[in-house]
Amino acid sequence: MTMNAMLNGKNAIVTGANRGIGLAVLRLFAASGCNVWACCRKPSEAFTQEVAQLQEKHSVWIEPVYFDLQNSEEMKSAVKLIREKKEKVDILVNNAGIEQKGSLFQMTSTEVFRQIFEVNVFAQIEFSRYITNLMMRNRSGSVVNLISVAGLDMTGGYMAYSASKAAMASVTKTMAAELCSYGIRVNGVAPGIAQTDMAMSLTEQARENTKAASLMQRIADPEEIATVIRFLASDDASYMTGQIVRADGGMA
Amino acid sequence: MKMLAGKNAVVTGCMQGIGMKTMEVFAQEGANVWAFCYQPTDELTAKIQSLQEECGVWIKPLYFDMADDEATKAALKQVMADKLPIDILANVAGITHNALFHMTSMNDFHRVFQIDFFAQMLITQFITKLMLRNRKGSVIFISSDAAVTGNAGQIAYSAAKGALISAMRTLSAELANSGIRVNAVAPGVIDTAMTQALTDEQRDKLLVSADIKRLGQPEDIANALAFLGSDYSSYITGQLLRVNGGCK
């Protein structure tokens, strides 16, 4: 079902590409004819193999880019590496993020808030600034931010995480307004719960509650989120900007 | 592989504008289409002919007036008689009535709601009953930015399009456990005969709040409908997708 030339000849940057939704995006983009700078923190044998297989199977190039979003210097080197390839950047998928161990507001230290915002908000903004700067030169581009229904519905218990995602929903809309005149669209996807390591780190109870709150009464396959990201990244969504699309099995 | 390969779709409002473009995109993406239209035109007949040849799909036009419930039922019976599974229903047909509240007669309200709401409920009831047999399907309504933000001078239209959003959400809840997804697209100002009826001043005013400073094209909406009709949106239901160039 995934083979489709929807992104033929485009070049994309995907963060957190080694697992979960990011890995599903990497696989789907490659299968759709898209070259990818696949960003993640550290190399691993499994990831290297995956990249090699995808390149061969789909005749695209995939360039792994290793850096820690929390490290500004590493990020700068990564951007340099991307720039040195001298290929235009069409798509940026800001997927990488960190979760929070479930705790109530009163139990969440400011330290935890800062740490989560550092990665889920500030690093996203910093990286987006570098990359959209490259997009501005071509006067075209599409940015897709991973929000979360937790950032829109605020059901309690994961305040630092949900507040960071709510901040990204705002960032998405403001970026859309500011970058539109450069031909850059910016949208967000708000997944419900997907079958990923991150979701598995939630308490059983939290997972069951989210599942029960959805009309479909099931957890998403990461691929079902990746197809939404691909739609927003593609030219099929050329009149959409500043939108947050919920892929949540029907929660609100 | 094409996005809608092997799927069968009902598309309403195929005579012109967004409906006609939706029929075209669906066919190009590999779907067979029952094309509901108000009446035949040379342009439509030629388009159907060329799409069938070009895309290797069938397109069956059914001509009737959605103001007439009996005629609508007769068309739906023809669809049923084909005894084929139906994967997608795209409720595109709609009319507008541009007038201020105090200038809008009850008759105008009834006329707009008949096409933009009641007839759509009738069609959706019939078609989802068929979808229930296969325990899968995707239903899409066309709402409007006018329903989300209101629009002075379009009271009947915006109210009917608002009712569609509520109906969409309720239907998504009722049909989810039968495997049927229900969503809606809210277009901004799209370049069709419907918006050509507006004055330049009215159109410009609507575009002021858009980030993308152009009218949307029918294809922009047709692409969104193809996405929501396809399995690529399999975890999306009960949603209103705004395709409006970034209007607030």
Residue B190: predicted pLDDT: 92
Query: Tokens standing for B16?
Result: 């012109």
Query: B226, A177: Cβ pair inside 8 Å?
Result: no
Closest of B2, B137, B186 to residue A240, by C-alpha: B186
* Model confidence pLDDT, tens digit, residues B109-142: 999 999 999 999 999 999 999 999 999 999 999 9
CA distances from B3 to A24, A135, B26, B248 (A): 18, 28, 9, 30
Distance from the Cα of A245 to chain B's closest Cα (Å) equals 7
> Which chain B residues are Cβ-neighbours of A177 within 8 angstroms?
211, 246
Query: A241, B216: Cβ pair inside 8 Å?
Result: no
> Which chain B residues are Cβ-neighbours of A191 within 8 angstroms?
235
Full residue range of the structural domain in which residue A190 is found: 11-247
Residue A252: predicted pLDDT: 78
Distance from the Cα of A172 to chain B's closest Cα (Å) equals 11
Question: What DSSP character marks residue A247?
Answer: E
Query: A215, B244: Cβ pair inside 8 Å?
Result: no
Query: Tokens standing for B6?
Result: 């092997």
Compute φ and ψ for B210, nearest 5 degrees.
-80, 145
Query: A245, B246: Cβ pair inside 8 Å?
Result: no
Query: Tokens standing for A11?
Result: 């070049």
Half-sphere exposure of A137 (CA within 13 A, CB side): 10
Domain boundaries of chain B, sorted by first residue: 8-243
Residue A3: predicted pLDDT: 54
Residue A77: predicted pLDDT: 98
| Opening angle at CA B24, ends B163 and B166, nearest 5 | 10
Q: Is residue A245 a contact partner of residue B239, using CB atoms and an 8 Å limit?
A: yes
Q: Which of B38, B63, B157, B235 is catalytic?
A: B157
Q: Is B235 on the interface with A (CB under 8 A)?
A: yes
Residue A101: predicted pLDDT: 76
CA distances from B124 to B50, B121, B185 (A): 29, 5, 16
Residue B36: predicted pLDDT: 98
> Which chain B residues are Cβ-neighbours of A243 within 8 angstroms?
241-242, 246
From the candidate CATH numbers 3.40.50.970, 3.30.479.10, 3.30.420.40, 3.40.50.720, the one assigned to the domain spanning B8-243: 3.40.50.720
| 10-residue stretch averages of pLDDT, chain A, 252 residues long | 76 97 98 97 96 97 97 97 97 93 80 93 96 96 95 83 93 95 97 86 82 91 97 97 96 84
Query: A239, B227: Cβ pair inside 8 Å?
Result: no
Compute φ and ψ for B88, nearest 5 degrees.
-135, 140
The answer to whether residue A6 is domain-embedded is no
What CATH number is attached to the domain comprising A193?
3.40.50.720
Number of domains in chain A: 1
Positions in chain B short of pLDDT 70? none
Start-to-end C-alpha separation, chain B = 35
The answer to whether residue A3 is domain-embedded is no
**Whole-number Å distance between alpha carbons of A12 and B121:** 42
Consecutive H or E run containing A83: helix A72-84
Q: Is residue B11 a contact partner of residue B92, using CB atoms and an 8 Å limit?
A: yes
Q: Is residue A229 a contact partner of residue A193, using CB atoms and an 8 Å limit?
A: no
For residues A86-124, b (16+ Cβ closer than 10 Å) or e, as one string?
Answer: eeebbbbbbbbbbbbebeeeeebeeebbebbbebbbbbb
Residue B82: partners with Cβ closer than 8 Å, 6 or more residues away: B34, B60
**Whole-number Å distance between alpha carbons of A117 and A244:** 20
**Whole-number Å distance between alpha carbons of B97 and B153:** 8
ipTM of the complex, rounded to two decimals: 0.84
Reduced DSSP (H G I as helix, E B as strand, rest coil) percent helix, strand, coil of chain A, to 5: 50, 15, 35
Distance from the Cα of A178 to chain B's closest Cα (Å) equals 9
Substitution target from A240, A248, A251 for chain B, most B beta carbons within 10 A = A240
Residue A1: predicted pLDDT: 38
**Whole-number Å distance between alpha carbons of B32 and B28:** 10
The answer to whether residue A5 is domain-embedded is no
